Amino acid sequence: IGFVMCNLAIAGLGKRVLDPCCGSGSLMLYAAALGASQVTGVDSDPSVWRGANEEFARHVCSFTSLPLASPQFYEGDVLNPDSTEPLWTPNNFDAIVCDPPYNIGAPVLVNQLDARPQNYHSKDNSVCTNKSTAIKNATNDLIPSLLVIAQRVLVHGGRIVFFLPVRGPEEVAMSLEVMLVSRGWQSDRLQLIAGRLQWFTPTFARWLVCLEKDKDHSC
């Protein structure tokens, strides 16, 4: 799926690629394998990419005709992009690939509080209830910030490819366009190129989304 995402984003030879929720950097590795010349990752927890450089080095021998670009990591927060240079520098990337956390199983913490949705799926697909006061900051809120970041840092014609979680019967009934609009999508700035729905349970799925920054729109 990583290669599919990077191919949709046209994150190949000579491209500058950003993953604003990079975790251990696995999507960046796929982009580097396709020939990206610059792979940049941002995550709020710097411990997650510990050992990533060694992982990239381990795979160099698998792509002897195309040495892998070394990853660049930054500590930063998608919800506060102005504090992290790769998240605010205009026209700085050709592609964004991102698999934001879904708050399944282990929680994403906001101010040290569990920010999983009120009703979330555990790893065994059972539905659990979260009574944390951080629910209002659940992971869905990352998507509007990701769209703003894409509008800002992508070159004209650049693409963002990401997963959009779908939870509960209300969202299951929505079209992709309606879901994107509910998260601040502006079609005159980011054109919808492709969307594919993947089901996990009857009440939880995710869209694979590809958007392209309007070649003629000025931010």
pLDDT at 121: 47
Q: Given the structure tokens 């990079």, which residue do they identify?
A: 22
pTM: 0.80
pLDDT at 103: 55
pLDDT along the chain (219 residues), means of 10: 95 95 89 92 84 65 62 91 94 96 53 50 51 46 92 97 87 91 92 93 87 73
